[in-house]
Chains A and B, each alone.
Chain A
């Protein structure tokens, strides 16, 4: 009985928050900002509460960090993985000529 009441109350709180907090479209903008600057206290509380009730925005935030970490991580590693392109023979020859003229 007490458990049922607790569930009901939790549901009501979540619903109220969902209707009264900034919606997802605004929240994803805040998530992006959080990667650029320190959020204000108010922004940060609203974001935390929103994330508590919205798994979609939780994933959104997780994905932005995955993209950032993967991009920066590979940037410091061998670039063979990110592209199969190589210097064309023409370009190689052109650069070789330019360099030997300089010597």
Chain B
């Protein structure tokens, strides 16, 4: 064994150590996106198995964790792809609420904000919110009542930051359909966060 090899901590894969060092991290990452403990556990397992197979490609470039997260991201997207294939939708059966009650009905202010639901000043910055675990608890609870596909589309767009076209391909939907889902998810989530988080915080 050459000296260089002996010094490298990456000369052979060590899945037991991976599990100890990165298991919980990867699980948390997965469960926030997949919203199901069992599915997240499977994704973590698949990630480690794929990492074992692909170990030759790693070569110790960058951190081991970043490499594993990169594999996990693919596993998460695979899951969304599979979920769509296994549960094709019936027309309009899983639509998020339109929340017409947020807006005035009678003229002359038809379509304008109903003052009971109108947005208020949040006095918050993304940086502050990021650090608040209780905010993310409310965030998750607010997404829960929405249809699975709407939540998946929202997660891929706003958490993973994928492009519209990529999401359409993964979920086999048209872009107009995606935009409607995103709009409804935002309308619902924004109001829910305001009622359940920001009104308590102020």
Give residues in A with beta carbon < 8 Å to B: 18-19, 22-26, 28-29, 32-33, 35-37, 56-57, 59-60, 62-64, 66-75, 77-88, 91-92, 94-96, 98-100, 102-103
Q: Nearest residue in B to A18 (C-beta to C-beta)?
A: B112
Are A81's CB and B126's CB within 8 A?
no
Q: Nearest residue in A to B190 (C-beta to C-beta)?
A: A63
Which residues of B are found within 8 Å of A37, using beta-carbon distances?
164
Are A71's CB and B158's CB within 8 A?
yes
- Stretch from B3-11, B89-97, B130-138, B144-152 contacting the other chain: B130-138
Q: Nearest residue in B to A95 (C-beta to C-beta)?
A: B45
Q: Which of A28, A62, A67, A71 has the most CB of B within 10 A?
A: A71
Are B27's CB and A24's CB within 8 A?
no
Are B15's CB and A87's CB within 8 A?
no
User: A24-B103, A72-B161, A85-B27 provided; 9 other pairs, C-beta below 8 A?
Assistant: A28-B187, A36-B178, A67-B193, A69-B126, A79-B28, A79-B29, A83-B32, A83-B140, A100-B16
Neighbour of A67 across the interface among B45, B110, B127, B189, CB < 8 A: B189
